[in-house]
Amino acid sequence: MSDITDRPRILVIHGPNLNFLGTREPETYGATTLADINETLQRTGDTWGVDIDTFQSNHEGMIVEAIQAIAASHQGLIINPAAYTHTSVAIRDALLLLKMPIVEVHLSNVHKREPFRHKSLISDVCTGQIVGLGSMGYLLALEFIVKTIRKQSESA
């Protein structure tokens, strides 16, 4: 059995206002709280043999710094940049530093919402994008990243 320090690490970044999940616009974002999402991800990660770190910030610069900090320590990133999806060149540029699978997740289907939400500044630098599946989108992103990491380690 491998030592826990040998377990792959995946960071999950939650952007602005996601700290109010469960109470903020539940008709759009659902009743699941951010704590519920993080707990489910950590439990699932433990079952699958990966360590999950979670981070939420309402501040663009802190999100950029979190991305920069994982280049050498993590093997995957799940990011829901929330409103910064449509505005942040800084987050996009930080993502370009990473050489790992990156999945962009949105709880709501942004393509069924206001026109300004249809354009993501980061989708083309991410490995994939999951929209409109609620909190299940995070689990699908995690499954994809775990399988990608395992496939890469088998071929190395």
Percent of the chain with pLDDT over 90: 78
Question: How would you label 62-99 residue by residue, b for 16+ Cβ within 10 Å and e otherwise?
Answer: ebbebbeebeeebbbbbbbbbebbbebeebbebbeebe
Is residue 106 annotated as part of the catalytic site, yes or no?
Answer: yes
The domains of the chain are located at 4-155
- pLDDT value at residue 1: 34
Q: Which residue has the higher pLDDT, 100 or 28?
A: 100
Q: Which residue has the higher pLDDT, 111 or 70?
A: 70
- pLDDT value at residue 3: 42
- N- to C-terminal Cα separation, the chain: 19
Which residue in the list 74, 84, 106, 138 is annotated as catalytic? 106
The mean pLDDT value for 74-90 works out to: 96
The mean pLDDT value for 25-44 works out to: 87
Which residue in the list 14, 29, 84, 138 is annotated as catalytic? 29
Architecture of the 4-155 domain: 3-Layer(aba) Sandwich (3.40)
